Amino acid sequence: MQRAPLLLLLLSTACVNTPDIYAPPTQRKPFVLEAPGPLKHFIAMDDPAAPAHLMMDVNERVEAGGGRWTGKRPVLRFRVPTRKHLKLVMDFSFHEVVLKNTGPITVRFAVNNHVLDTVRYEKDGGHHFEKAIDPSWIHPNGDVLVALELNRIFVAPDGARFGLMLQRAGLLD
């Protein structure tokens, strides 16, 4: 019986490999080019996240070509991580039936209630708009509202309203 306590004492002093203790690494926020949240700085109208950017007067339905019809005063919302060297970029088109019934359409482009430009469109088909934005108009990591105002739109006999067909829009550097 005296051997059992001696054997237990010897076993309890056996070599044990205890791991070294290290402090956890410093926690840092990941580098993100895009502002957090559902809003992006640039969006295609067929992107699943597009509805979060549509404030008013943009059709919820995506058409076959991936665009959305607007009314007379569409407003979109974006979020940008910086305010330097940004430009408003949009790709859109006018349908020939719209221009045939309205004549030339003048579009006023505004960013956060500042008029950026006014352009007259006489031809149907695709158009690209791109113009630099004054940095003082932008609040970094805040919402940026982009508003268009068309001087006229086509109203179909059934009451449907057609301005321009918006494909992509946003703020790029």
Tens digits of pLDDT across the chain (173 residues):
567 776 666 666 656 666 677 777 777 655 444 445 689 999 999 999 999 999 999 999 999 889 999 999 999 999 988 778 899 999 999 999 999 999 999 999 999 999 999 999 999 999 999 999 999 999 877 899 999 999 999 999 999 999 999 999 999 98
Residue 10 included in any domain: no
Residue 16 included in any domain: no
Please state, in angstroms and rounded to a whole number, the distance separating the CA atoms of residues 71 and 59: 8
The upper half-sphere exposure of residue 151, i.e. CA atoms within 13 Å in the direction of its Cβ, equals 13
The upper half-sphere exposure of residue 47, i.e. CA atoms within 13 Å in the direction of its Cβ, equals 19
Residue 18 included in any domain: no
Picking from 147, 111, 113, the residue whose alpha carbon sits closest to that of residue 131 is: 111
Residue 124 included in any domain: yes
Q: How many domains would you assign to the chain? A: 1
Residue 58 belongs to what domain range? 33-172
**Model pTM greater than 0.85?**
no
Q: In CATH, what number is assigned to the domain containing residue 77?
A: 2.60.120.260
Picking from 120, 116, 95, 103, the residue whose alpha carbon sits closest to that of residue 169 is: 116
